[in-house]
Structure 1
Amino acid sequence: MRLADVIDVFIAGDWGNESPSEETPNAVYCVRGADIVPISIGEFGDIPLRYVSDKSFEEKTLRAGDMIVEKSGGSPTQSTGRVSYVSEALITEKGAVVCTNFCVAFRVKTGWNPYFVYQYWNHIYNNNIFFNFEGKTSGLKNLQLDNALKAIEIPDYTLEQQNRIAETLLKIEQKVLLNRAINHNLEAMAKQLYDYWFVQFDFPDENGKPYKSSGGKMVWNEKLKREIPKNWHSDNICLIADILSGGTPSKRINEYWNYGHIPFFGPTDYNGSMFQLQTVDKITESGLQHCSSSLFEENTIIITARGSIGKLVIVGTPMAMNQSCYALKSKNEEYEYLYFLTIQLIESLKTKGSGSVFKSIIASDIENTMLCVANKGIISLFCDKVSPIMRQIKKNTQEMIHLTKQRDELLPLLMNGQVSVNYDLADD
């Protein structure tokens, strides 16, 4: 069979309007290509809210089990054809969901398990099959979807076989999502401690009591226009970190990209994880030598400055980055405090830009933003407290990557009968 044989109906996209009107009164969340990766890991927060007509709302609202395919976009190492699964969780959290015009959604026929088809599509995509079905229009790559669907094969499994395979893969997926939920809770714990110490100023005094609540001395700071603890500083983040920039090697020179092994970070790689351990694009040693980005060490903080603005990640493995980002490298290797201080920096920049569109961050924005910076002893104590939490978050993230790799490698083995699952053991 071919992929075309399993599809019951296509649902076109609609970008709608930013605000409601008489013609477009219906609120929907519109899935873009940029949302495909976050949705796959259970992150729905950045899907934009749009407004569509009654006709579009009736005809284009998606339901659980539908799939969204990216028709335009991609990069030299990433083809079009990425797919997103519309889960019950997505519908429960967002309600009405459509896809953008650069995507198209489809629904499978009766007798096909949609989650099985979704995972099989991912298997095809990960094997770079969709590169064979791309054309270019004005520099933008477009998926020749009809040709792909008519050409790409899919085994004619019974629904029972599909269900067993889907159930096995779903169990791995659920473990990945559980790890992510644990990481969110761990990060919230570390953030709560940071706020208690560095926002409320109730860090331990010399007697181990909460500083401000126990009457610790506070002094007026003219730069910040508020009181801060004695011996703390009003300065920009450069007091404790160096600002570093990125750059992209020419995409017209193949030796900079082909068979690259150095992760190359851009804003679209952000997926909600605290630690960034892998990227879609990779460059070669030659590519690194011919761009203005350094190879950033582990525990460097990256800020996305254009595109998805103000997102933060901690470098979990050495990587380079493009010019749409800045990096902050702690001068004392105390990245834990720097990470949360950078969150305060972004919040301050957003507050200052509240009267206008927050379109980008430039180096002078970072350098001209005054922050309350703690003294060295309190910073070190905080880092000692939260470093086990941060290490566990990184460990969980590594496990998620391994599980995802295992899931992707397991699908073809399950499909051709090379492996089977002992469900008695699995249930234990």
Structure 2
Amino acid sequence: MREEWRDFKLDQLGFVGRGRSRHRPRNDPRLYGGQYPFFQTGDVKAAELYLQQYEATYNELGLAQSKLWQPGTLCITIAANIAESAILAIPGCFPDSVVGFVADPKVADTKFVKYKLDTLKLAMQSASLGTTQDNLSLDKLLRFDFLIPTLLTQQRIAAILSAYDDLIENNTRRIAILEEMARRLYEEWFVHFRFPGHETAEFDGDLPKGWRAVDLGALVDDRRDAVQPYAVDPSTPYVGLEHIPRRSITLREWSEASTVQSTKLLFREDDILFGKIRPYFHKVVLAPLGGVTSSDTIVLRAYSADHLALAALCASSDAFVDHATQTSNGTKMPRADWKVLKSYPVALPDDALLARFNGFVLPLFATLKSLNRKNANLRAQRDLLLPKLVSGEIDVSGAEAELEAAE
């Protein structure tokens, strides 16, 4: 089988070019707020196989100093988050810290190249180490050899691996839908007060009768249980700010305590982890397991299980994150302050309505955990196959049974 495989440089497999962001300063607000997605390195890192979620958009002025890349382009990060990659699912722009690869359809399959790139990530990151800032230049990227089989074999391998990714993408979409359902339900009931029976409800001031205003700090405790990483099992999950996704309460990745050194904070399953550095990044998750986390995380634990869903959805709401941003301390690296945030007002209903709310939301949270576990298992199975398939170590036909079992 291996006699069909040959070494290629990336630019022998298709077009390679850096993204474009000519205007200075890059953050000039006149460039933003239009219809053109602007993908940055963090967006690429957060993506699965396909890149379609973004935090910023360009307007016509922004587009004029950039370039609109088409769906199917493989995006490769060369600064900040080194050697992360994802395939554009929609047209979009990206800066010069991202390289675009457009496969020659007669020579290479984009998905196969992406998977091959995944196996080279550590080597590329090692080659990017610098004295001041890590950087993978385009020149360095083009020095790497890509061992590639025939196009037909590439397509067959990519079909097997992407089947795992398609299952992951499907579960991820379901997670997003369930999170949005929980978020909307919270806003309807506790912000707009359109809860069941609101049509006939009487109000006492700003709140329905029977409700009361409490501080968030009355529902959750700020846990500051410090620990040194060497004092816990090396395999203990470690959640850094880099692991916490933006605008999602589902934590999908973490590393191990053995990879860190400085003082960390202990957390338990179902604790709320709030990234306090640059709170406008909106990094808030409900912990699916216990472990240790960065000291730049606020660890919140519900005093009562009855208040967990309400507290989690409040802490992850746009309004709360905006409040955390507006009251943060510092300019370059603003930090949220729990001493301020604990006074954030929460509308607490009577026990019967709260139980009804939990009856809707807690099963959603359980499904989020279940889907997240399924994705973790799918990633593990894919990652076991990936290096063996893209190197020719195992035959393509031998992996199809594994895929059928996963489905």
Counterparts of 1:352 and 1:265 in 2: how far apart (Å)?
A: 19
Counterparts of 1:343 and 1:26 in 2: how far apart (Å)?
A: 26
Counterparts of 1:31 and 1:85 in 2: how far apart (Å)?
A: 11
Calculate the TM-score normalised by the size of structure 1.
0.76
Counterparts of 1:315 and 1:198 in 2: how far apart (Å)?
A: 23
Q: Is the 8 A contact 2:73 2:101 kept in 1?
A: yes
Matched, 1:35 2:35: no
Seen in structure 2, the aligned counterparts of structure 1 residues 56 and 25 have a Cα distance that, compared at 3 Å, is: farther
With 258-267 and 349-358 compared, the bigger mean Cα shift is at 349-358
Matched, 1:243 2:222: yes
Counterparts of 1:53 and 1:369 in 2: how far apart (Å)?
A: 38
Cα shift at 1:181: 1.8
Q: CA RMSD in A?
A: 3.7
Q: Give the AA of the match of 2:198.
A: K
Q: Is the 8 A contact 1:297 1:317 kept in 2?
A: yes
Say which SS state the counterpart of residue 340 (structure 2) adopts: helix
Matched, 1:105 2:76: no
- In the alignment, structure 1 segments of 5+ residues that lack a partner are 75-79, 92-96, 204-209, 221-225
Counterpart of 2:150 in structure 1 is 158
Cα shift at 1:256: 9.6
Matched, 1:213 2:206: no
Residue 249 of structure 2: which of 251, 274, 291 is its match?
Answer: 274
Matched, 1:319 2:304: no
- In the alignment, structure 2 segments of 5+ residues that lack a partner are 1-6
Say which SS state the counterpart of residue 143 (structure 1) adopts: coil
Cα shift at 1:284: 3.1
Counterparts of 2:220 and 2:251 in 1: how far apart (Å)?
A: 19
Pairing 1:15-414 to 2, within 5 Å after superposition: 15=21, 16=23, 17=26, 18-20=28-30, 28-40=36-48, 44-50=52-58, 56-57=65-66, 60-74=67-81, 80-87=82-89, 90-91=90-91, 97-109=92-104, 110-125=106-121, 128-138=122-132, 140-143=133-136, 145-155=138-148, 157-201=149-193, 203=195, 210-214=196-200, 216-220=201-205, 226=206, 228-244=207-223, 261-267=236-242, 269-270=244-245, 273-279=248-254, 281-284=255-258, 287=261, 290-291=262-263, 293-307=264-278, 308-334=280-306, 335-344=308-317, 346-348=318-320, 350=322, 360-414=335-389
Seen in structure 2, the aligned counterparts of structure 1 residues 274 and 4 have a Cα distance that, compared at 3 Å, is: same
Q: Give the AA of the match of 2:47.
A: I
Counterpart of 2:4 in structure 1 is none
Q: Is the 8 A contact 2:36 2:63 kept in 1?
A: no
Cα shift at 1:271: 5.5
Cα shift at 1:249: 7.4
Q: Is the 8 A contact 1:277 1:317 kept in 2?
A: no
Cα shift at 1:419: 4.5
Seen in structure 2, the aligned counterparts of structure 1 residues 246 and 265 have a Cα distance that, compared at 3 Å, is: farther
Counterpart of 1:223 in structure 2 is none
With 305-314 and 268-277 compared, the bigger mean Cα shift is at 268-277
Counterparts of 2:172 and 2:123 in 1: how far apart (Å)?
A: 30
Q: Is the 8 A contact 2:13 2:107 kept in 1?
A: no
Deviations 1:347-394 (A, max 9, x none): 155279789999653224312322222344533442244322211111
Seen in structure 2, the aligned counterparts of structure 1 residues 239 and 188 have a Cα distance that, compared at 3 Å, is: same
Say which SS state the counterpart of residue 130 (structure 2) adopts: strand
Q: Is the 8 A contact 2:77 2:99 kept in 1?
A: yes
Q: Is the 8 A contact 1:70 1:103 kept in 2?
A: yes
Cα shift at 1:118: 0.8
Deviations 1:369-428 (A, max 9, x none): 2222234453344224432221111101111121122222222343423351559x96x9
User: Percent identity, aligned pairs only?
Assistant: 16
Seen in structure 2, the aligned counterparts of structure 1 residues 351 and 135 have a Cα distance that, compared at 3 Å, is: closer
Deviations 1:157-204 (A, max 9, x none): 11111111112222222211111222223233333443444345455x
Deviations 1:263-307 (A, max 9, x none): 22215531654331422x4323984xx51x321001111222334
Cα shift at 1:133: 1.0
Say which SS state the counterpart of residue 266 (structure 2) adopts: coil
Counterparts of 1:25 and 1:349 in 2: how far apart (Å)?
A: 21
Counterpart of 2:3 in structure 1 is none
Seen in structure 2, the aligned counterparts of structure 1 residues 400 and 315 have a Cα distance that, compared at 3 Å, is: same
Q: Give the AA of the match of 2:282.
A: G
Q: Is the 8 A contact 2:269 2:290 kept in 1?
A: yes
Q: Is the 8 A contact 1:28 1:50 kept in 2?
A: yes
Cα shift at 1:122: 1.4
Q: Give the AA of the match of 1:213.
A: E
Counterparts of 1:120 and 1:422 in 2: how far apart (Å)?
A: 19
Q: Is the 8 A contact 1:257 1:282 kept in 2?
A: no
Calculate the TM-score normalised by the size of structure 2.
0.80
Q: Is the 8 A contact 2:271 2:300 kept in 1?
A: yes
Seen in structure 2, the aligned counterparts of structure 1 residues 285 and 100 have a Cα distance that, compared at 3 Å, is: closer
Counterparts of 1:240 and 1:121 in 2: how far apart (Å)?
A: 46
Deviations 1:249-269 (A, max 9, x none): 79xxxx799976432221553
